[in-house]
Each structure stands twice: as C-alpha cells, then as structure tokens.
Amino acid sequence: MALFSNKDQYSASGFKSRAVDKDLKRIVQLEKATQEVGSNIYNLGFGLIFLIGVWIITYIYSGGEASAILVAAAVIGGYMAMNIGANDVANNVGPAVGSKALTLMGALVIAAIFEAAGALLAGGEVVSTISKGIISTDSITDVDVFVWAMMSALLAAALWVNLATYIGAPVSTTHSIVGGVMGAGIAAAGFSAVNWPVMSAIAASWVISPLLGGVIAALFLTFIKFAILFKDDKLAAARRWVPVLVAILAGTFSAYVMLKGLKRIWKPDTAMVVLIAGGIFFVSYVWTRRRVARASQHMENKRKSVATLFTVPLICSAAMLSFAHGSNDVANAVGPLAAIVNALGSGEIATKASLPIWVLIIGAVGISVGLALFGPKIIKLVGEKITKLNQVRAFCVALSAAITVIIASGMGLPVSSTHIAIGAVFGVGFIREAITNRTSSSTKTPVPMSAEGFSEVDEGKLFKKWKKQRKRKLVRRQHAFSIAAAWIITVPASALLSGALFFLLNYFNAPS
C-alpha cells in the first residue's frame, strides 16, 4: 500500500517548490543588500579621497602656509558641494531619466559636465559673503566671530542636506545655507541681526515656488493632451503644435540662461534678453518644423510616437538646467568659503568677496563628484517614484521650471528651483490623474446582468469592472507629505544646527 497518494505527492512537491522559491528570494535579497552596502562603502571612500584632494589643493594654492582654519573651511566647502550634487542636481535631470529620454548614466554624465561648466565658466569672480542679505553686515564686526559663523553655517547646511539625501528628500540647498547663515548670525549677534523682511519673502517662496511650478506644468500638459494627444489625427496635430512648443522651450531657456546662468559674468538689459530669446524662438521653430515633418512621415498615429518628438528638446533642457544650476548654486558651497578666505587674508569683513580659482574648482568638482557618487537615489525619486513620467510630461516639467524662475525673477521673488521642479512633477501627476478619472467616468458602461438579476453575474468580472472604474491615484501621496515636511523644516533645522555649532566652535576657540 502506498504511503502517499498522488495528491499528497503533488502537495509535498508543491510545498518544497514554494520553500525553494522563498529561499531563493531571500538569497537574492541578501545579495542585493550586500551589493548596496558595498557600493555605499566604495562611494564613501571616493568621497573621502575627494576631501583629501581638497586639503591638498588648499595647501598648494596657499603656498604651503594654509592655516588649520582655512583647511577645515575648504574641506567643509567641498563637503557642501558634494551634498549639492547629491541632492539638488536631481531636479534638473530626474524627469528626463524618469521619462526614459536619458539613461541614468547618460544623465549623470551630462549633468556632471554642464554643472562643472556652469560653475567654472559662469560662476563669477565675486560672491556675496552674507547669503541673500539675511544678516546685517554691521551686526558682526569681529573677524574671528565672522569666520566661526560662516564655518558653522556651511557645516550645518551640508549636514542637513546630507541627512535629507539619506532619507530621500529633495530639499533646497539655497534655503539650507540661508538657514545656516541665519542661525549663526543669531548666535553671534542676536535676533536683531536678521533681516526679517527678507526671511519673510523666503518663507513665502515655500508656497509660491511649488504652486506656481505645478500650475504652469499642469497647464502645458493639459494643452498638449487636448491639442495633440486626444486628437484622431495625432501626427497632423503634432506637426502643427510641437514646433511651437519646442520653440517656446528654446526661447524660454535662452532667457533663463541669460538671467540666471550668466548673471555673475554678464547682465543684459530686458530689451537684449527679449531680442535674443525672440531670435532663438524663430530659429528653433523653423528647424523643428522641418524635423517634425520629416520624422512624422514614418510614425504610427499613436501617443508614444508623438512623445518621442520631445526627447531631444528634453535632453537639451536637462543640460541647460544643469549649466544654470552650476553657475548659480555653486555660490552656496563656495560663497561662505570665499568669505572666510577673504577675511583671513585681509583681516576685514566685506559684503563682497573675490572668488579665487581654486575655491571655484573645489565647488565645481565637488558638485560633480557628489552627483556621480550619491545622486542616483534622489534622481530616481524625482523621476520615477512620485508619478509616472514620459517625454511629454517631463517636457512640461522642464518648461515650467524655466518659466517660473523667469516670472519670479521679474517679480523679485526668491524662489527655489528645487521647489519649482518638484511642484511641477506633482502638477503633471495631479492634472493627469484628474483628466484620466474624468475621462473614465464619462465613458463607463453598465455592468451586464442576466434576466434573473445578480445571481447569474460572475462576481470576479464584477469586481474587475468595479476596480477598473473606480478613481485612479496616479501620484504617491506619501511623497507629497514627506517632501513638504522636509521643505518646511529646512530653514529652522539648519538654523538650529548652525547656532549650536557656532557656540561649540566659539567655546573651544575662545581665549582662556
């Protein structure tokens, strides 16, 4: 008599198969975790090598006479630059990666090259020593106190951005350094040292930046959907409107680069900006119209085909955003460092400080190193985990970023490029969600029923139809709350950390 029936044998073999599958999954997860830990260790090692290189550069350019304070300040500046690359640059290339217009490696290469180029070519020769004018220049008169304040601000901002990157929150590095300077200024000279109207404007930008970016991106996506993607003849609509949209992008970005990317080395007047942007708009329209007409001849009349027409403009926008970011935000890393170098060299505190080439190199290289080593985490979050992006949606995000910065600059509002980009990503996600649910609800079909009523209806099919017809959520809400929380606490967290560091440095270096 057989001990097991065929059914028992199948059950036993099935149990063994499931057990083996679970074991294999555990092994795969363990291998992935091991690889991730090993990769993190390697990245930390390369980051440490860069900071050692910063120490060597400082020693060489100082003629072998660098003080311990100067070396420490340079290393902290390099550390801040790495954190800017790891966190802030993701906003420029994340949408392009999420839309598959760029691979992660391609985005890292393009961003690293253009960030460094922007910092080195257009970073400027002079920077403000007191970020955004939030601390009165007359509030701190002692050079030693000023040096400790700037070092505290720089280290506090770097530590906060490092923490934000670790937990996966894209934050504004500009707001981080602003909070650091404010905290150090209060610790050094009291609350009266802070320019509170400026701080109020910065606080207002927490709301203005993401809302404005989200609304503009949503408007462009709505237009593209109804003017092109929802048309029966999508290719004919694309031949009509894609050249206009690409020309708007080209003209807008030319103005954006002139106003933000080149502002430290060239300040054209409004008429010049409009003239150049208008010329680039016209040339781009003519060139794109021919290219789209040629490319659309061999395309299928599908949305995916139309979306590919935005790939090249999207890559160009990522490069231009990186260039402008490098030229503009390198000051967040090297501005306080330049102030320290100037104060130690001249023995005086100035509102503007010259920017030595070796300091600029530290900032430019540091941003690229941080991007390459630690940038992929935030890039994937911005491009893939908030909402699903394709070339069209990513195009709207990039265009919104440039337009919002131009509008804000004209109104004198201190907006954050990080907040704008993230707000635009949420904007395209929510408007897509609204359009999708509205369209699906208007095209619902009644559930088929038998003559006897519900008794003959397949419950499985009924559930599937209900599941398909219910409202879809195309944006991950948890990211909205976590990112907003990180934005709100960036300035106060950086300020508190900076104040604590200032008291600590001042205590150990005070004369006995």
Q: What is the pLDDT of residues 420-437, one digit of tens each?
A: 999 999 999 999 999 988
DSSP helix/strand/coil, 437: helix
Q: Report the pLDDT averaged over residues 53-73.
A: 86
Q: What is the pLDDT of residue 8?
A: 52
Confidence of residue 464 (pLDDT cuts 50, 70, 90): low
Q: Flag whether pLDDT at 9 surpasses 80.
A: no
Residue 70 neighbours by CB under 8 Å, 6+ apart: 58, 62, 340, 341, 344
Global pTM reads 0.84
Count, residues in the chain: 512
Q: Flag whether pLDDT at 92 surpasses 70.
A: yes
Lowest mean pLDDT segment, chosen from 67-81, 219-233, 236-250, 460-474:
460-474
Q: Flag whether pLDDT at 446 surpasses 50.
A: no
Q: What is the pLDDT of residue 31?
A: 56
- Token look-up 């599908």 returns 302
For residues 397 and 21, give the distance between their C-alpha atoms in angstroms, rounded to a whole number: 42
Give yes or no for a contact between 210 and 426, defined as CB atoms under 8 angstroms apart: yes
Q: Flag whether pLDDT at 32 surpasses 70.
A: no
* pLDDT > 70 in the chain, percent: 83
For residues 250 and 259, give the distance between their C-alpha atoms in angstroms, rounded to a whole number: 14
Q: What is the pLDDT of residue 310?
A: 94
Give yes or no for a contact between 377 and 161, defined as CB atoms under 8 angstroms apart: no
Instruction: Please give the single-letter amino acid code of residue 417.
Output: S
Give yes or no for a contact between 351 and 137, defined as CB atoms under 8 angstroms apart: yes
For residues 512 and 506, give the distance between their C-alpha atoms in angstroms, rounded to a whole number: 12
Q: What is the pLDDT of residue 505?
A: 87
295-321 confidence digits (pLDDT tens): 988 899 999 999 999 999 999 999 988
How far is C-alpha 323 from the chain's CA centre?
Answer: 13
Of 144, 217, 139, the C-alpha closest to 185 is 139
For residues 302 and 109, give the distance between their C-alpha atoms in angstroms, rounded to a whole number: 31
For residues 457 and 68, give the distance between their C-alpha atoms in angstroms, rounded to a whole number: 80
Q: Could you tell me the two tokens for 351?
A: 């509102």
State the Rg of the chain over Cα.
Answer: 27
160-173 confidence digits (pLDDT tens): 999 999 988 999 99
Q: Could you tell me the two tokens for 494?
A: 């950086």
Q: Flag whether pLDDT at 265 surpasses 70.
A: yes
Q: Report the pLDDT averaged over residues 383-394.
A: 93
Q: Flag whether pLDDT at 5 surpasses 70.
A: no
* More confident position, 38 or 439: 439
Q: Report the pLDDT averaged over residues 331-345.
A: 87
| Tally of helices (H runs) and strands (E runs) in the chain | 17, 2
* More confident position, 5 or 302: 302
Lowest mean pLDDT segment, chosen from 7-21, 174-188, 414-428:
7-21
Residue 293 neighbours by CB under 8 Å, 6+ apart: 239
Give yes or no for a contact between 494 and 179, defined as CB atoms under 8 angstroms apart: yes
Q: What is the pLDDT of residue 455?
A: 45
For residues 387 and 442, give the distance between their C-alpha atoms in angstroms, rounded to a whole number: 24
Q: What is the pLDDT of residue 50?
A: 96
Segments in 62-195 forming alpha helices (H): 68-87, 90-98, 104-122, 143-167, 173-189
Q: Report the pLDDT averaged over residues 234-259.
A: 93
Give yes or no for a contact between 173 and 87, defined as CB atoms under 8 angstroms apart: yes
